[in-house]
Amino acid sequence: MSRQFNVIIERDGEGWYIASVPALRGCHTQAKSLDELNSRIIEAIELCMEVGVPG
């Protein structure tokens, strides 16, 4: 089953990109590039779904 989530992406003062998923409490990650951030947030979502993180 495929699901879609909204992801909020911000950039901090040091150049890091930060992604968070509001629908999954505690689901967030950071990276120096958007390509790396995309891979990491997909992995974070998969892990949150696997352990049953509440929204």
pTM confidence score: 0.87
Q: What is the pLDDT of residue 2?
A: 81
Domains present along the chain, CATH in parentheses: 8-51 (3.30.160.250)
**Measured distance CA(4)–CA(36) in Å, rounded:** 19
pLDDT digits (tens, 9 = 90+) for 1-55: 688 999 999 999 999 999 999 999 999 999 999 999 999 999 999 999 998 866 6
Q: What is the pLDDT of residue 52?
A: 81
